[in-house]
């Protein structure tokens, strides 16, 4: 049997190609929330590329001129108030190669046939991962394909923000001298809510969640959308339908007693709610996400129609502006960023429209995009991705049930597919 081997050939800091400003920059009130003080891992898989490590390294160096804060480090002069020190140190970049082709490892689709650490960069000795804003590894395969493993600080970027940075790098790779969308820092423009009483720290329980991948067809999604229009006279989104399917399927699979609370959470983009303080024309790449939460009972979600569950999700989305405004004003009744982390809570995230699937360094879009944060067992999660072409619809990447509930969950979701 072939032994798959990944060799990390060279590691170095990639600094901006020109001198950049120094000094510390503030982070916003949203950037500073505990919920985004994490590092996110992902991989983009490409079918072919000519000297991709060289091309991407040079493109990064150029992109780090307008995006110079990304070449800095996260510091915390005062507890709970992180900032970005614009040091110009650069992005940690690793070049790697393999003794196998992408087809040998199923294009790096799940389950991974090689350790994820082989595909991701590790920081240099003595450097804290949480202080580095972005790291990247380009791994070349014998077939001519390559993978870009990325680790980014959610404190500095949300999904749309890091996608914007990656697209700027692709523009540099294909010959532009400036990104089409000029980056905007502007974190100080987002209001600072009054400090709330801290209260009791949340309790954490680890669950042995199992991985599962399910592809939902557009036909099945559109069938529910048509039913929703027929029954309510209103339209709903693909996100609304998928989320209703997953929440109801999971609730039925885990079989909690009817009176037990179940919760659904997802992050909503609030850029449109900050249009009066953020510059017009886009370019802001900081965190502009706010959690939307729904609480119900197991019995209600299990026995409701999908149209009824979709209605609950739409009602929660319609309250976004009010909830976000209350948070900015420091409403002490509830901190939306604090979510009970028990088995009744499900968090979903839509990566299908963030832009990772459109990243093109000059040889075509990725054939596969996937998160690699498999080591989080605190909260049940489901991420929505674009399925590999030519498939249409949405791919679900789930870590939301333990082994005893996996078969039931997969069966229920496949019936929806």
Q: What residues are labeled active site?
A: 154, 360
> Under a CB-based contact definition with an 8 Å cutoff, are residues 113 and 5 in contact?
no
Nearest to 372 by CA among 134, 39, 146, 41: 41
Sheet containing 73-78: give its strands across: 24-26, 81-85, 73-78
65 burial (CB, 10 Å; 0-12 / 13-18 / 19+) is: middle
Length of the chain: 417
Matching residue, tokens 């963030």: 354
Return the half-sphere exposure (C-beta side, CA atoms, 13 A cut-off) of residue 186. 20
Torsion on CA atoms 155, 158, 161, 166, rounded to nearest 10? 90
How far apart are alpha carbons 136 and 14 in whole angstroms?
10
Quote the CA–CA distance of 177 and 175 in Å, as a whole number: 6
Residue 373: DSSP 8-state: -
DSSP calls for 280-295 = TT--B-S--EEEEEEE
The span from the CA of 314 to the CA of 415, in Å, is: 24
Task: For residues 42 and 45, give the distance between their C-alpha atoms in angstroms, rounded to a whole number.
Answer: 10
345-350 and 261-269 beta bridge pairing: parallel
Q: Give the residue from 288, 270, 27 showing the smallest Cα distance to 164.
A: 288
8 Å CB contact between 183 and 283: yes
How remote is the C-alpha of 45 from its chain's centroid? 16
DSSP secondary structure, 188-220, as one string: GGS--PPPPP--SPPP------EEEEEEEPHHH
DSSP, residue by residue, 97-136 = EESS-TGGGGGGPSSPSS-GGGTS--PPTT--GGGBSEEE
Tokens linked to 257 = 């007693």
């Amino acid at each position: 049997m072939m032994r798959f081997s990944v060799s990390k050939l060279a590691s170095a800091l990639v600094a901006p190609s020109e001198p950049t400003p120094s000094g510390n920059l503030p982070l916003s009130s949203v950037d500073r929330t505990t919920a985004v003080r994490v590092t996110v891992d992902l991989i983009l898989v490409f079918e072919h590329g000519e000297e991709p490590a060289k091309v991407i390294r040079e493109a990064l160096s150029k992109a780090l001129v307008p995006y110079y804060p990304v070449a800095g480090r996260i510091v915390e002069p005062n507890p709970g108030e992180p900032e970005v020190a614009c040091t110009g140190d650069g992005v940690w970049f690793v070049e790697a190669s393999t003794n196998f082709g992408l087809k040998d490892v199923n294009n790096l689709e799940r389950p991974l046939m090689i350790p994820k650490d082989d595909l991701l960069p590790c920081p240099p000795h003595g450097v804290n991962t949480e202080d580095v804003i972005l790291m990247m590894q380009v791994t070349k395969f014998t077939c001519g394909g390559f993978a870009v493993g990325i680790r980014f600080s959610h404190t500095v970027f949300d999904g749309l923000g890091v996608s914007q940075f990656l697209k700027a790098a692709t523009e540099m790779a294909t010959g532009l001298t400036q990104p089409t969308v000029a980056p905007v820092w502007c974190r100080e423009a987002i209001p600072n809510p009054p400090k709330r009483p801290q209260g009791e720290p949340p309790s954490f329980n680890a669950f042995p969640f199992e991985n599962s991948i399910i592809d939902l067809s557009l036909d099945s999604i559109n069938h529910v959308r048509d039913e929703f229009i027929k029954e309510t006279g209103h339209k709903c989104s693909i996100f609304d339908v998928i989320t209703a399917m997953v929440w109801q399927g999971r609730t039925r699979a885990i079989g909690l007693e009817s009176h037990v609370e179940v919760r659904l959470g997802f992050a909503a983009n609030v850029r449109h709610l900050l249009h009066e303080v953020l510059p017009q024309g886009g370019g802001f790449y900081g965190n502009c996400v706010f959690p939307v939460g729904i609480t119900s009972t197991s019995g209600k979600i299990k026995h409701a129609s999908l149209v009824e569950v979709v209605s609950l999700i739409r009602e929660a989305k319609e309250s976004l502006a009010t909830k976000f405004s209350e948070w900015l004003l420091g409403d002490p009744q509830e901190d939306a960023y604090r979510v009970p982390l028990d088995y009744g809570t499900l968090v979903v995230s839509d990566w299908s429209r963030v832009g990772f699937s459109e990243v093109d360094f000059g040889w075509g879009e990725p054939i596969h995009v996937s998160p690699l944060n498999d080591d989080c067992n605190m909260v049940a999660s489901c991420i929505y991705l674009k399925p590999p072409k030519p498939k249409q619809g949405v791919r679900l990447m789930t870590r939301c049930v333990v082994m005893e509930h996996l078969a039931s969950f997969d069966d229920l979701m496949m019936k929806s597919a």
